[in-house]
Homo-oligomer: A and B are copies of this chain.
Amino acid sequence: MKSIAATLRQAAVPRYREIHDALQERIIAGAWPPGYKLPSEPELARSFGCARMTISKALGALAERGLITRRRRAGTVVNSPRPQETVLEIHDIESEVLAGGHAYRYERIKRELRRATAADAAALGVPPGTALLALRGLHRVDGRPHAVEERLVNLQAVPEARNQRFETISPGRWLLSQVPWTEAEHQISALNADRELAQQLGIEPHKACLCIERRTWQGPERITHVRLIYPCDQHRLVARFQPSRLKM
C-alpha cells in the first residue's frame, strides 16, 4: 500500500515539500502561534501518512529557515518572529561589471611586501610579524573609478602570491582561481572619503562611501582581508529573501 502512495506521488512535488508547506502555512496563518508545541515526529508521520524520516526532513527545513526550534525531549516549538534574514551575493567586481556589458580595468596603486603590523594582524587575524602582501588598487568601469581596494594577503597561506605583480590582474580574481575559500566574513559600513581616497575615486573629500570588508578562510587558515570602497552614488547592495530558497 505504501508503494502505491509512492507511485501516485512521484509525478508531483516531493512529499516532504508538501508537508513543509502545509506546516509553514499553519504557522504563518497563526493557527500555530509562537510558543506552540508541535506534535512529535511519530504523530505527524501518522497524521500525514508517511514515514518519520519524511517528517524529519520537512521539520529540518523549517528549523533551518528559523520558523521552529527543535530540541530533544522538549520537542518542536514555533519560534517568535525572527530577524530579517537575507541572502547577499557579493560578486567579484570584474564579473559583475563584465556581465553588465561594461569595460573593466584594474590598476595597481601600491604593492608592498611586509611583516604584519599590529593593525594588519588585527585585520587579517594572523600573528604580528607574519609575512604578507599589502596591495592597493583601483577598479575602473568604462574608464571611470569604481572602487578602491585595500588588500592584505597572507603569504604563509598563499606563497605563490609573492611572484604576482598584480598590475592589471585584480588580486580578487587571481586568488579566486588559486585558493578555494571555505568561509568568509563580511562587514558593511559607511565612511567619509579622506583626501587620498577622494582623489583616487575622483570624488569630493568627505563624500560618503560604502565599505565592504571581507575576511576569507581556507579551513582554519586566513587567506586574505580586503576592503572595497565605493562612492555612495555608485554602488548599493541588494538582497532579496525568498521564503523558500532551499532547493526543495
Q: Within 8 Å of chain B (Cβ to Cβ): is A236?
A: yes
How many whole Å from A183's CB to the nearest CB in chain B? 6
Which of A104-112, A149-157, A187-195 is near enough to bind chain B? A187-195
Q: In the bound complex, what is the Cα–Cα distance between A243 and B216 (angstroms)? A: 12
The answer to whether B239 touches A185 (Cβ under 8 A) is yes
Given contacts A81-B177, A183-B243, A184-B240, contact A210 B190 (CB under 8 A): yes
Given contacts A183-B241, A186-B84, contact A28 B219 (CB under 8 A): yes
Question: Of the candidates B28, B60, B218, which one forms a contact with A247 in the assembled complex, judged by CB atoms under 8 Å apart?
Answer: B60
Copies per assembly = 2
The answer to whether A28 touches B241 (Cβ under 8 A) is no
Contacting residues, chain B, for A208 (C-beta < 8 A): 190-192, 208-209, 232
Q: In the bound complex, what is the Cα–Cα distance between A60 and B64 (angstroms)? A: 14
Contacting residues, chain B, for A24 (C-beta < 8 A): 182
Most B-side CB within 10 Å, residue of A63, A176, A192: A192
Q: In the bound complex, what is the Cα–Cα distance between A74 and B143 (angstroms)? A: 40
The answer to whether A63 touches B247 (Cβ under 8 A) is yes
Number of A positions contacting B (CB below 8 A): 57
Contacting residues, chain B, for A240 (C-beta < 8 A): 183-186
Most B-side CB within 10 Å, residue of A91, A189, A209, A230: A189
Contacting residues, chain B, for A144 (C-beta < 8 A): none
Contacting residues, chain B, for A192 (C-beta < 8 A): 192, 206-208, 232
Q: Tell me the A residues contacting B by CB distance below 8 Å.
A: 24, 27-28, 30, 60, 63-64, 81, 83-92, 95, 176-177, 180-192, 206-211, 214, 218-219, 230, 232, 235-243, 245-247
Q: Which A-B residue pairs are the 9 nearest by beta carbons?
A: A208-B208, A190-B190, A189-B236, A190-B232, A190-B210, A190-B208, A188-B237, A83-B91, A84-B90
